Amino acid sequence: MDNTFLEGGIENLEKVKEKLREESGKQEAFNAAEAELKAKQKDLENQKKYMTDKIATATKERRAELKKQHDEQVDAVAKELKEAEKRRKDAKASAVSERMKNETADLVAQNEGFKKANAELFRANKVPAFCNTELYYSLFAPKTGKNFIFFIITVIVTLGLIPNIICLLIKSDQLILKILVYMAIVIFFAAIYFVIFATTRGKGRGAAIEQGRLNMDQIEKNNKEIKKIQHGIKTDKDESLYGLEEYDAQISEFQSSLESKITERDEALKVFDEETSLSIKDEIEKENIPVIEQMEAELSEMENGLNAQKAEVVSLGEEISNSYGVFLGKKNMSEERIDKMIGLMQEGKAETIMQALDQINGEIK
């Protein structure tokens, strides 16, 4: 330890205090410069991000605009194609309908003849008109599977469902009453059935009804044949009979145009992605790169200055530590502790730095 420094007085402590203030000032200046540098770095990052975002936004917007222009052309042709296909479909439907009408005309005419014959037959034999219906034959002269199914359903409804519903609606708890009501309803429907059967079958009407049945069977047979013919026409793959060549030519033309428009759109987007987007990028970079480069140059200059400031702070810190810290100790290297030692010496309680140091460290009371 250099006893010369420790045996010195207030003047030596004032030198330490001055050095500490100098170090504090340089540290504050360094901290301010460092904060300014970080702010400048943030500004640079923001500027670069702004340029990147601007490139991305401009590229996206211009590409979307280009695509929209071509999509509108594609959609217009697609709409015309759809309308042409609809016209063809309508024309074919009309031609198919006309063909079915022509090829079933004889059978339809036969059915009309059978219906007219039945009407005249029933009128001549005074048979009620409702007997010339599918309903009557199903209930009173079932023959086909469809007739029998309808007959069974009718029996279930009239003799089962309706009586039971009515009995359920009766609020009385008397079972005999419900049985009587049920039987009355069954008898009612049965009576109606047998009355109709008797009145329509009597007085020679049975023969007329049987003949009408034969005519109805022929009508049913013709209807099946008509449906068969219609089904065959609908499933016929040969469209040469319908004169759709003009529509096919229009559709082919629109299909070619649509493919061409789609190809043009894809090619335009490809050129945009490979060339135009680069031009947009260059254009925006040309505007922003000089600003960024200037900011980078300023930042580099600030970094150099900050490094120099840091070196000064470190050098001064080492000087203070080597010149004074080794004597006073780290805990005493503050203006507050220095002022205490100066106060002791001014009060006459210590003549040297060593004595003042011993007192503030508690070694001498």
| Each residue's pLDDT tens digit, 52-108 | 999 999 999 999 999 999 999 999 999 999 999 999 999 999 999 999 999 999 999
Q: Does a structural domain hold residue 83?
A: no
Whether the per-residue pLDDT at 363 is higher than 60: the answer is no
pLDDT in tens, 102-141: 999 999 999 999 989 988 888 888 878 777 777 887 887 7
Residue 3 has pLDDT above 70, yes or no: no
What tokens does 336 get? 């507050």
- List, as own/partner pairs, every contact residues 44-52 make where C-beta atoms lie below 8 angstroms and the sequence separation is at least 24, other chains included: 44/292, 44/295, 44/296, 44/299, 47/288, 47/291, 47/292, 47/295, 48/292, 50/288, 51/284, 51/285, 51/288, 51/289, 51/292
Both structure tokens of 323: 């010149």
Task: Judge whether 75 lies within some domain.
Answer: no
35 within domain boundaries: no
Is residue 112 domain-resident? yes
| Greater model confidence, 40 or 190 | 40
Count the domains in the chain.
1
Which range has highest mean pLDDT (179-188, 189-198, 222-231)?
222-231
Question: How many Å apart are CA 88 and CA 96, to the nearest integer?
Answer: 12
Q: How far apart are CA 321 and CA 327, in angstroms?
A: 9
- Whether 362 maps to a domain, the answer reads no
Assigned domain for 242 exists: yes
The CA-based angle 352-319-308, given to 5 degrees, is 150
Domain region containing 236 = 98-251
* Residue linked to tokens 């299909």: 255
Neighbours of 344 (CB within 10 A): 19
In a domain, 284, yes or no: no
pTM of the shown model: 0.57
82: which 2 tokens? 């759809």
